Amino acid sequence: MPSQLSLVPPPATRRPAPPALVVVAHGSRDPRALSTVRALLDRVRALRPDVPVHLGHIELNAPLLPDTLAALGDSEAVLVPLLLSRGYHVKQDIPEMAAASRARTHLAAPLGPHPLLVDALQARLTEAGWGGTPHRTSAVVLAAAGSRDPDAKTDTARTAHLLATRLGVPVIPAYASAATPTVETAVRTLLARGRRHIALASYFTAPGRFATECAQAAPWTAAAPLGTHPSMAQLVLHRYEEAVARQTLPELASA
């Protein structure tokens, strides 16, 4: 007769809790920005209800990132910048705030460039009326915030290339500040090339001053910012999972 001990099932292995996801937004004086970011986080939570999702701002809005990290204590967190390219905030501000906290943080890549952003940009253009004119007369200005960091300009140019390939028309990146060309200059360049139907793709995560100013400079039609498009929530989680995988694979390799 087998012993009773052999009939006892082994204890279930408990999977460790996933690290918190901290979405790091820039912050804006425009109240629409904060409401948009909060709605985006609700979409992220719906996709991954097992992951604690928090919000921290670099400036202008509460909660500020240092306060969010302080509330997490010494727990593990992945910081996902709600930013579309590399630049000072990604390279300096966020790492410095993370280093000053007790939390065990890992910094994910910024959202862009990525094909999911192109999905969202195309959808916003379609919502604004894109697609009703011949390709030979159409073009797009990809309006972004701008940065003095050359890597940021490289990232935005990459997104412009991906969007041009998707739409089959020229796409010129333009900037609201700190970089050239401006939206007005990009429009003049396209008009000189015989492109009469010029749409503006709003390469901003949420409404704000820069997005509004760029939209006002659009000669034909202007798309809404990326906002809460489903691809944005998917991309936030993709960057989170990339960062988690980077931490997990070295542990597996050394096991």
pLDDT in tens, 174-183: 999 999 999 9
Does the structure show a pLDDT above 50 at 254?
no
Question: Mean pLDDT across the stretch 207-216?
Answer: 96
Judged against a pLDDT cut of 60, whether residue 33 lies above it is answered with yes
Say if CB 44 and CB 237 are below 8 A apart: yes
pLDDT, residue 9, reads: 57
Compute the average pLDDT of residues 170-196.
96
Per-residue tokens: 96: 């410095």
**pLDDT above 80: residue 208:** yes
Rounded-to-integer distance, Cα 173 and Cα 117, Å: 14
Q: Which residues are CB-neighbours of 23 under 8 A, at least 6 positions away?
A: 37, 40, 41, 44, 53, 54, 55, 56, 80, 82, 236
Q: Please give the average per-residue pLDDT across 45-63, as a whole number.
A: 97
